[in-house]
Amino acid sequence: MVWTVDDIPSQEERVALVTGANSGLGLATARAMSARGATVIMACRCRRKAETARTQLLEAGLTGLDLLDLDLADLNSVRRAAAEVSDRYGHLDLLFNNAGVMAPPRQLTVQGHELQLGVNHLGHMALTLQLLPLMQGRNDARVVTVTSGAQYFGRIRWDDPSWAQGYDRYGAYSQSKLANVMFALELEARQQEQGGGIRSLAAHPGLARTDLQPTAIASGGNRLEAVAYRLMDPLFQSAAMGALPQLHAATAATAQGGEHYGPDQLGGMRGHPTRCRIAPAALDREQRQRLWQLSEELAGGLLMP
């Protein structure tokens, strides 16, 4: 039996934060959660794009949509955003670590880290750890961290995580997506050990049509890459379908902490949500703990409140 947005239980009186909610998977997630009654905090870097997306949802008859300024490439912005959520709401039920960047030319975050590692992993890790106190004691609180199939090709460059030498934009992307899964599983393990009661899961969208692909192609300027994406176009599913695994992870009664969801067809490229395999490196507790420690060192005290 396939799982769809119609299977999302009522989210009345629940507060969900979605990073990157102005487009793609984030917008689809915000739409689905709002439709089921949740108050949705749309956390976005660009206020103009966020307002446009919110207006689009409001015109469709949805309600309970709030905007939050959040630049994951600046850990100080993350800290301010988390404080604002605390001031406005005082609690949080669901966190979708959804926003991401893919395969840009080498750029650095405000704190000097490679952009993809900084935004996709460090920014979300900092946001999560600073919001966890707001989720403690909430019924069925969950953190869903969005990764991709690139995790299977990723490896952590322990001695050069910011790719100062020999930068490869897809290698750096794969590293960040592997880091997403490692963080999700290690957070779950620590919650279990501490009795925190918050579940942590991972999800990936398969091949979903979002802004990431055209942006990556434009920034790379590689004709062969553009041709490859055109040939693959029939395999891409909609952003709404791509968002189903993270929605399932966040709301399905059967979804458990530490699980990873993705599409069920064509080797995880498209389809409806199902449990899927996890990159072997992410199953290694020693590597996960090493990444956690490295992340704390890189963030220089900006991970925690």
Mean pLDDT, the chain cut into blocks of 10 residues (305 residues total)? 95 98 97 98 98 98 98 98 98 98 96 98 98 97 97 97 97 98 98 95 88 59 61 75 97 98 87 96 97 96 84
pLDDT of 83-111, one tens digit each?
Answer: 999 999 999 999 999 999 999 999 999 99
If 0-12 CB within 10 Å is exposed, 13-18 middle and 19+ buried, where does residue 211 land?
middle
d(CA 223, CA 66): 40
> What's the confidence (pLDDT) of residue 126?
98
- What's the pTM? 0.93
Does residue 173 carry a catalytic annotation? yes
Q: In this structure, which topology does domain 11-207+239-296 adopt according to CATH?
A: Rossmann fold (3.40.50)
d(CA 4, CA 293): 38
> What's the confidence (pLDDT) of residue 57?
98
> What's the confidence (pLDDT) of residue 208?
76
Q: Which residues have CB under 8 Å from 1's CB, separation 6+?
A: none
Structure tokens that stand for 51 in this block: 């307002």
| Selected catalytic residue, list 89, 167, 170, 173 | 173
> What's the confidence (pLDDT) of residue 220?
59
